[in-house]
Structure 1
Amino acid sequence: MPFYKKQTNNYQPKKNIIAGRNPVAEALKAGDNIDKILLFKNATGEAINTIRHKANQLNIPVQYVPMEKLNGLTNIAHQGVIAFKSSVVYQDLQQIIDWINDKGETPLFLMLDGVTDVRNIGAIARSALCTGTHAIIIPDKGVGALNEDAVKSSAGALEQIQICRVNSLLKAVDELHLNGIKVFTSEMNAEKKLFELDFKDPCCIVMGGEENGVQSYISKAADAKFSIPMKGDFDSLNVSVAAGISLYEALKQRII
């Protein structure tokens, strides 16, 4: 099966794609910002092993896909390997915590659990930056790609706010707790209301996806759960709106 798609006059590869074994390996070696890597599920060879190993070292997600998926993304001879360049630089969570403490500021984090729409992520980043949120924590899987579309939706906020990508949200919660940072999850049925929580202390707000909400094991590990009070029969807010409301409550408490 060929490692490329026949070129057509109206087909153009995406600008954020790196295709081919050597180009992807060189990008990893050079330390380029890579969001994720797609590998043909049956691909083998020394270069493939090198890419897997380096991606694991750099905490870059690797997804194994059929050839049709790769062929649909580019007409370049991809050799069973495609990488997506990231528009943001990912940071280490502990280093960001240390950086905040060194500045003498009170940490305020936002964690996204299952938020996949890049427009929502962009809008959330704008609110986070405007409310003084220090960093956004995302998982390496199950979140929308922070690509050019996300940056555009964020009006550039994603390029200014710190982004921590972790391979386990639960481990990230543990790391936050070890550093004295409380974790609050936004849940529709929580009895405690948003304004009843104390956001003046070091804390992290967790927002779940609109369909499934915060995962149960994250909810169990949280220090408190809160709901956003609403009037009327409509019982759901867009996640970017809910995140903005929550972050502005934290900002209001810290300013007052």
Structure 2
Amino acid sequence: MSKQESLIIGRQPLIEALRSGRAIDKILVQKNANGEVMSAIRALSNEYKVPMQMVPAEKLNYMTKANHQGVIALAALVEYKDLETVLDEVQAKGEVPLFVMLDGITDVRNIGAIARSAHCCGSQALIIPDKGVGALNEEAMKSSAGALEHMNIIRVNSLLKAVDTLHEHGILVFTSDMKADKKVFDLPLTEACCIIMGNEEKGVQPYLAKAADEYFTIPMVTKFDSFNVSVATGIILYEAMKNRM
């Protein structure tokens, strides 16, 4: 899909795309855009849980020379799914959930690499927030070697609420902490679980980390900084796969 083909330009084309159930990453709306049609777009974006961002007209003009009418949407390259639906599907298959949640990871190449490792190690789903994470664009798809097309991608408006939902379904939540006593190979990874992976600089947000059931570290021989987030995810998921096999 080319850059131009991935754009949905204009108010009515966007309304039709939303009503048809087409997957959309984000809607960009010109500041001060108003009217009945814009109200309908806002209502549909809430109904279908598509993030909306207010931007200056210059940004929209840069993206296309067409008459955008103050709105451009970025069509998604993957289909986003509902958390409850995926949980029911996984458990109906008799599989033990192994999910990955991404918090604040903006490098799309890391996201692609994480998806690739997740798919190879048997993880059924990737949970991402609707804001503050890199777009699942062409570069992410390429980095994942196509794995993003084969996984359940769950987009939520609150990672904390998603953790609550996981707990309601009996799923343990793990995240790393440099001060943790437990090592990754001490985790009960054969149990239904979700691993939260955070931004390399800031880590998992404190309020989200606080909701986790277990904290762990990945031991290293040297005292170097840390593993790259996609490498760290691969290590954790491989450990889970090894235990489950």
**What code does the residue aligned with 1:113 have?**
D
Distance 1:81 1:14, change over 3 A: same
Superposed displacement of residue 50, structure 1? 0.8
Task: Pick which of 114-123 and 188-197 moved more.
Answer: 188-197
- d(CA) in 2 for partners of 1:195 and 1:142? 30
Match of 1:7 in 2: none
Q: Does 1:216 align with 2:235?
A: no
How many aligned residue pairs are there?
244
Within 5 Å, which residues of 2 pair with 1:24-39? 24-39=14-29
Match of 2:10 in 1: 20
Match of 2:192 in 1: 202
Match of 1:239 in 2: 229
2:180 to 178, 190, 212: 190
Runs of 5+ consecutive residues of structure 2 not aligned to the other structure: none
Q: Does 1:103 align with 2:93?
A: yes
Superposed displacement of residue 189, structure 1? 3.2
SS of residue matched to 2:189: coil
Structure 1 residue runs of 4 or more that deviate by more than 3 Å after TM superposition: none
CA contact (8 A) 1:13 1:75 kept: no
CA contact (8 A) 1:13 1:74 kept: no
- d(CA) in 1 for partners of 2:10 and 2:41? 11
CA contact (8 A) 1:13 1:76 kept: no
Match of 2:56 in 1: 66
Q: Does 1:158 align with 2:148?
A: yes
- d(CA) in 2 for partners of 1:189 and 1:46? 54
**What code does the residue aligned with 1:61 have?**
P
TM-score, normalisation: structure 1: 0.92
- d(CA) in 2 for partners of 1:16 and 1:152? 16
CA contact (8 A) 1:85 1:147 kept: no
Superposed displacement of residue 111, structure 1? 0.3
Task: Pick which of 122-131 and 73-82 moved more.
Answer: 73-82
**What code does the residue aligned with 1:79 have?**
Q
Superposed displacement of residue 13, structure 1? 5.6
SS of residue matched to 2:28: strand
CA contact (8 A) 1:137 1:166 kept: yes
Cα deviation digits, residues 210-242 of structure 1 (max 9, x gap): 121101011111001111111213122111111
Match of 1:171 in 2: 161
1:116 to 106, 110, 117: 106
Match of 2:171 in 1: 181
TM-score, normalisation: structure 2: 0.96
Match of 2:216 in 1: 226
- d(CA) in 2 for partners of 1:234 and 1:74? 45
Runs of 5+ consecutive residues of structure 1 not aligned to the other structure: 1-11
